Homo-oligomer: A and B are copies of this chain.
Amino acid sequence: MNIREVAKIAGVSTATVSRVLSGSVPVDAKTESKVRAAIEKTGYYPNSHARMLGSGKSNTYGLIVSDIANPFFPELVKSFERLAVEHNQEVLIANTDYHPERTEHCVRRMLEHKVDGVAIMTSEMAPHLIQILSKRGIPIVFLDTGTVGRLISNISIDYEHGIDLAINHLTSLKHREIAFVEGPRDLKSATIRRDAFVSSLKRNGIKVAPGFICQGNHGIDGGQRAMSELLALPKRPTAIMCSNDLTAIGVLIAAHVAGVRVPQDISIVGFDDIELSSLMQPALTTIRVSRTEIAARAFEALYGAAHGGIEKGINYTIPSELIERQSTGPCPPKSVRKA
């Protein structure tokens, strides 16, 4: 079933059917109803590929994430997809799985589908791949890892402010011995958080004790390992700030296993506010970064570039917000602390 058959049945030209379908050009009411009847009768659905070819527009945005099963992403993907559908666009979702090879394949898919823009929500994107997209005039929006330029936008998460909120929260609870479990060293957004932690402490007149900055990997297991290191320290911290929620959850679990009470003995703060965090026992105090808002800005950036003709890249800043739950409490008095 194609447009020609529909046209024949309706007794009009294919052009008219096309016009009824797109609704862009006025069509006589009678003609339109004849066409609609023919469409109804034949169960005709236009071929999106042919439409793409004819019009030269794919109406598709690419969405590249590192791991769709990572709790940070599903909500982001969902919001992005919803926006796309609302704007009659399609989404081509691609998972890099943190693999350079798969990442390259993802970009290839984007190119072959002639997407109208790409949201790159992963940090493992080799510059030459970005070049390839960019050279073809494809609008791009990065999460956290991009430099704004022509057709290139970026969404920055306000890590500094977020970390500040967390540290202020902890110091207001009288904590001074605050440790940090950092993320992967090669992840830009992770080092930003680490540095923000250090400078926030400095602003509060606290200096980082030796061994208080601990290596994690943004996964639960890394948090657990970091916590055992921290607990083995001759002088333990009274509070721990983590580079992300998954890390904090690992820390929480390790604390539980070691018989350390949270928040009575030690306070823990995460970062991201993934759904899981509110469900932990105790529920995790954390810094929320709205995934819905990230998705909205990403879509806005691409849509503006592709449909609004906005060539100038924009830098969006996503606010962060302290979510106080049960994993933080007053600093225990010195006498009570364990060795």
- Where the two chains meet, the residues of A that have a C-beta atom closer than 8 Å to any C-beta of B are 43, 45-50, 52-53, 58, 67-69, 73-75, 77-78, 81-82, 85, 90-95, 97, 102, 105, 108-109, 111-114, 132, 135, 220, 249, 253, 256, 275-276, 279-281
Contact = CB atoms under 8 A, between A and B. Distances in A.
Contact of A78 (B95, B220, B256, B280): B95
Contacts of A111: 45
Nearest 9 interchain pairs by C-beta: A45-B111, A49-B49, A49-B52, A48-B112, A69-B74, A281-B281, A69-B78, A74-B74, A69-B75
A73, A78, A253, A256 — which one has the most chain B CB atoms within 10 A of its CB? A78
Given A49-B113, A78-B67, A279-B276, A93 B93 contact: yes
Counting every copy of the chain, the complex holds 2
B281 A256 contact: yes
A93 B95 contact: no
A42 to B, nearest CB: 12
A47 B92 CA distance: 15
A64 to B, nearest CB: 12
A281 B326 CA distance: 14
A45 B279 contact: no
Nearest to A65: B78
6 contacts: A48-B114, A49-B114, A69-B78, A82-B95, A82-B97, A91-B93
A212 to B, nearest CB: 26
A263 to B, nearest CB: 14
Instruction: Tell me what chain A mostly uses at the interface: helix, strand, loop, or mixed.
Output: helix
B81 A77 contact: no
A273 to B, nearest CB: 14
Nearest to A135: B43
Contact of A253 (B43, B74, B276, B279): B279
Given A68-B81, A78-B67, A53 B43 contact: no
Nearest to A282: B281
A77 B85 contact: no
A220 B95 CA distance: 29
Contacts of A102: 85
Contacts of A81: 68, 93-95
Contacts of A74: 68-69, 73-74
Contacts of A91: 93
A74, A97, A109, A135 — which one has the most chain B CB atoms within 10 A of its CB? A74
A67 to B, nearest CB: 7
Contacts of A132: 43
